[in-house]
Amino acid sequence: MTVQNSTAVYSALIESELKETRNFMTQQLQCSDERLAEFTDYIKKRQGKMLRASVLLLCGKLTGRITKLHISIAGTVEMIHSATLLHDDVIDNSTIRRFQPTANRLWGANQAVLLGDFILSRAFAALLLFGRNDVNKIIGDTAGIICQGEMLQNKYRGNFNISVEDYLDIIAKKTAVFFAASAQLGAVISGADQQTSKNLYDFGLNLGIAFQIADDLADVAANENQTGKTTGRDLENKIPTLPTIKNTDFTKEQIVRYQQKALNIIACFNESPAAKALKELTMQTA
């Protein structure tokens, strides 16, 4: 279980596509008002690991050919993710993210909330123009579920008697459905059949669950030099996570379990560079 970094092997296969995705995001975050440049520049500079974009692009490659729409939707997905991180950091009162001070630390919670809203608005504005109803429905539904997951997490704050099932339900909603939707979107845009898209959705869901459990474990076990963000926050914020409601061994078992479920789905596809990269990503992520 290592923290994935930007030099990961899997990303070599989609290097140029990830670069185009970053360019798309930079364009969408353009703001004509000079007075706001410091805020939008902050976001452009902190584009992070692009994990959801990578899942989308690799699943697109696994099932077809990468198009301009794959790039744009990958960028939109990462913009929505950036917005949720800004709001998460406000909610958790975090001060470090991606090895840099968080927006709430730099400019206060207020500006961080607004900056998140701005990015979310720009992401949806981009989507609204593509006019792909199938793609839009997936993203629209997913955004609503993520918010529900976050609200549920808030509701269970301080409740360390939460069942493993309720914990899994929360992390599926707040984190894993976004990975699931990213994988599905890659396939849908490539024109994959419904069953294939569904299989890749399930791949993303299991990957996302493994990822979040590993993230929760790192919050209690790792330090800031390893994760690049404030650690120990979950306990401080009274958020029940698997390592705190159960124990480290059980938590590690669950990571491997969901990782294996994800790998089993990719194993059903023909061998290809994209399949290999998705397996690597799964192993490195969680």
Taking the least distance from each CB to its own copies, the nearer of 133 and 223 is 133
Least gap, CB of 159 to its own copies (angstroms):
12
Nearest to 274 by CA among 187, 210, 180: 187
**176 secondary structure, DSSP code:** I
Taking the least distance from each CB to its own copies, the nearer of 5 and 110 is 110
Least gap, CB of 150 to its own copies (angstroms):
5
Taking the least distance from each CB to its own copies, the nearer of 119 and 281 is 119
Taking the least distance from each CB to its own copies, the nearer of 91 and 263 is 91
Taking the least distance from each CB to its own copies, the nearer of 141 and 193 is 141
Taking the least distance from each CB to its own copies, the nearer of 112 and 222 is 112
Least gap, CB of 255 to its own copies (angstroms):
26
Torsion of CA 43, 48, 51, 56, to 10 degrees: 40
Question: DSSP of 266-285, one letter per residue?
Answer: HHTSPP-HHHHHHHHHHHHH
CA–CA distance, 22 with 7 (Å, rounded to integer): 16
Least gap, CB of 210 to its own copies (angstroms):
24
CA–CA distance, 76 with 70 (Å, rounded to integer): 10
| Tokens, residue 145 | 């579920």
Give the footprint of its own copies on this chain (CB under 8 A): 31, 33, 35-36, 39, 84, 87, 90-91, 107-111, 113-118, 120-122, 124-129, 131, 133, 136-137, 139-141, 143-144, 146-148, 150-152, 154-155
User: Which alpha helices (DSSP H) does the chain contain, by range?
Assistant: 15-28, 37-45, 51-63, 68-92, 103-107, 109-130, 133-155, 164-171, 177-189, 194-221, 224-227, 233-236, 242-245, 248-267, 273-285
Least gap, CB of 23 to its own copies (angstroms):
19
Least gap, CB of 111 to its own copies (angstroms):
5
